[in-house]
Amino acid sequence: MTDATLDGGPINDGLGPLHGVYPSGGDEAGEVLRFHSTLEPKRFLGLSLRNGLLNIVTLTLYRFWGKTEVRRRVWQGVRLNGDAFEYTGQGKELFIGFLLALLVLGLPLLLAVFAVQFGGPAAIAVLYPILYLGMFWLWGFGVFTAFRYMASRTTWRGVRFRLGGSARSYGFKYLGAIFLSGLSMGWFWPVAHRGLAEKLWDELRFGDRRIRFRMSRAEKVSVYGWYALGWVGTAVGYLVFVIGMVALFAVLGMMDAPAGQPPGLGFTLGLYGMMLVLAPIFLLLWSPYHAAMLRSISAGVTLDGAGFHLEVKPMELWWLTVSNMAALLLSLGFLTPWVQARTAHFMVSRLTSAGLAHLDLARQAGKGPGSGEGLADAFGFSAI
């Protein structure tokens, strides 16, 4: 075991040494990982229009095949050492996964309806907490299965990625993270965020080559100060929002309005106007934390003797997020493929690596699950 950089010397990136697994007598072997994006978001405008229109015509059923085409183009635009990634998933796999997710989500909801109608208050009191906690567990389960599916449908130089581990275990870890974050009024979340990332990235394989997540490296990127800024800023912002709403009530004379009278047009416009103003401010407050967490997670990911660095700055991330949200809002969601290509280009163009990885030693892995990330689609958290 040795530590290596471009010239075979020890890595010195301020995050600690990397110990790669090298073949006997072949310490000098390996590749420097160079990422490059050939993505041009403007080339996704036509696809955005086509997908949007076909989703309308098919009552959104086309989205599974549309999503597959977007991923295929995005993967093709990401290069590692000059070679493009390839996405091999199919729209029918996503569709089958969605049908399975409807089954998983529909059965508990059906039980809840029967409990309300026939079980009485006692049954509701027992079933409601189980369903509530179960939804958080399902969310974590869905995140893991979505990541596992995309990994198994991603190849580079003909070698497939795969994800080990257990979706059930990840679901319980996510549930525990939410529970502890709630108990601590949110202050446990940065620890949970890193822990959940470790659970995913440390189980990822490139063929039979294991990718590792080194928490000691990730923790050297400070995040708690930025989290405190977002937390305190959100608390102050919420107070301002409440005061603003009370002032709006007073100006519109709603304080003296009869009970049960619906709010007028002026109140509705004022409410949405205030939300539009505050949303970019809240995103600005949280952008330093999200940028720091992205840097922290990327620092923790290693492959053999190669470490990674994602140079994301808060204002850049804030502008990307705000402009993407504006594009989606103004286009009624039509520009989703354009937004996804733009985001992928933003991330890949800021990703660098130091050290050597033995990609040439990777051997093919199994295909992985036969259906797509249905829960991710049902919950709406699939990144691409």
Q: What is the pLDDT of residues 301-338, one digit of tens each?
A: 999 999 999 999 999 999 999 999 999 999 999 999 99
**With bands split at pLDDT 50, 70 and 90, how would you rate the model's confidence at 371?**
low
The answer to whether residue 15 sits within a structural domain is no
The region of weakest confidence among 46-50, 70-74, 249-253 is 249-253
**Domain range spanning residue 366?**
35-213+287-379
Q: What percent of the chain has pLDDT over 90?
A: 65
* Residue 131 pLDDT: 84
Q: Please say if the pLDDT value at position 124 is more than 80.
A: no
Q: Residue 305: which residues within 8 A CB-CB, separation 6 or more?
A: 2, 3, 4, 11, 18, 19, 20, 22, 30, 355, 356, 357
Q: Residue 4: inside a domain, yes or no?
A: no
Res 1: pLDDT: 36
Looking at per-residue confidence, does 126 or 66 come out higher?
Answer: 66
pLDDT at 272: 82
4 pLDDT above the threshold of 50:
no
The pLDDT value recorded for residue 293 is: 99
Q: Which of 5-14, 54-63, 89-98 has the lowest mean pLDDT?
A: 5-14
Q: Is residue 3 very low, low, confident or very high in pLDDT (cuts 50, 70, 90)?
A: very low
pLDDT of residue 183: 97
pLDDT tens figures, 257-271 = 566 666 667 667 777
State yes or no: pLDDT of 2 exceeds 80.
no
Alpha-carbon dihedral of residues 112, 118, 121, 123, nearest 10 degrees?
-60
pLDDT at 168: 95
Does residue 318 sit within a domain? yes
Q: What residues contact 322, with CB distance under 8 A and at least 6 apart?
A: 280, 283
Mean of pLDDT over the chain: 87
Cite the DSSP H helix spans in the chain.
Answer: 45-57, 63-76, 91-114, 120-152, 167-183, 189-201, 215-218, 224-251, 265-300, 314-330, 336-348, 374-379
| Tally of domains within the chain | 1
Predicted confidence at residue 179, as pLDDT, reads: 97
Q: Please check whether residue 233 lies inside any domain of the structure.
A: no
Evaluate if residue 135 carries a pLDDT over 50.
Answer: yes
Query: Which carries the bigger pLDDT value, residue 245 or residue 228?
Result: 228
Mean of the pLDDT values across residues 132-141? 91
For the chain, percent of residues with pLDDT exceeding 70: 84
Supply the pLDDT for residue 21.
Answer: 43
pLDDT exceeds cutoff 60 at 12: no
- For residue range 160-215, list pLDDT tens digits in order: 999 999 999 999 999 999 999 999 999 999 999 999 999 999 999 999 999 999 99
pLDDT tier at 113 (50, 70, 90 boundaries)? confident
- Specify if 323 maps to a domain: yes
Residue 52 lies in a domain: yes
Q: Judge whether residue 224 has pLDDT over 80.
A: yes
Strand order across the beta sheet in which 209-213 lies: 35-37, 78-80, 83-87, 154-156, 159-163, 204-206, 209-213, 301-303, 306-310, 351-354
State the Cα–Cα distance between residues 197 and 214, nearest whole angstrom.
11
User: Quick one: pLDDT at residue 377?
Assistant: 63
Instruction: Give the pLDDT mean for 146-170.
Output: 95
pLDDT for position 23: 44
Highest mean pLDDT, choosing among 1-15, 88-102, 203-217: 203-217
pLDDT at 276: 87
Q: State pTM to two decimals.
A: 0.88
Q: Please state which of the ranges 23-27, 71-75, 93-97, 323-327 shows the lowest mean pLDDT.
A: 23-27
247: which residues sit within 8 A by CB, 6+ positions away? Answer: none
